[in-house]
């Protein structure tokens, strides 16, 4: 899974609509760690609003390794952290 821009690498399957955090949510979050808990809650709600896309991603994860790539500098507060948590449930 890849961020919007991937440099120097290859992405077999970029995140599609329904599994990527919305632009509105990403803008609101602004990588502010104080907003992460609410970002997580809202992003999970977005993921569950598109069960087909989430099911497709879960199916890919069951078949093999899925690498979640993110562009944020903060390793602990980003969308990949939330998506990983959802996929591991």
pLDDT at 28 over 70: yes
Residue 18 maps to a domain: no
Beta-carbon neighbour count of residue 7 at 10 Å? Answer: 6
5 within domain boundaries: no
Residue 66 within a domain = yes
Kindly state whether residue 17 falls inside one of the protein's structural domains. Answer: no
| Span 31-68, pLDDT tens digits | 999 999 999 999 999 999 999 999 999 999 999 988 88
Provide the residue range defining the domain that includes 46.
23-88
Number of domains in the chain: 1
Within a domain: 3? no
Could you tell me which of 79, 12, 4, 15 has the C-alpha nearest to residue 41? Answer: 79
- Whether 9 is in a domain gets the answer no
pTM reported for the whole predicted model: 0.82
Residue 1 lies in a domain: no
């Amino acid at each position: 899974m890849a961020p919007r821009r991937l440099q120097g690498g290859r992405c077999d399957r970029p995140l599609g609509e329904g599994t990527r955090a919305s632009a509105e949510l990403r803008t609101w979050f602004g990588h502010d760690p104080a907003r992460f808990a609410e970002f997580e809650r809202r992003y999970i709600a977005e993921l569950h609003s598109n069960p087909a896309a989430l099911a497709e991603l879960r199916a890919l994860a069951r078949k093999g390794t899925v690498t979640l790539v993110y562009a944020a500098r903060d390793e602990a507060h980003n969308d990949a952290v939330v998506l990983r948590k959802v996929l591991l449930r």
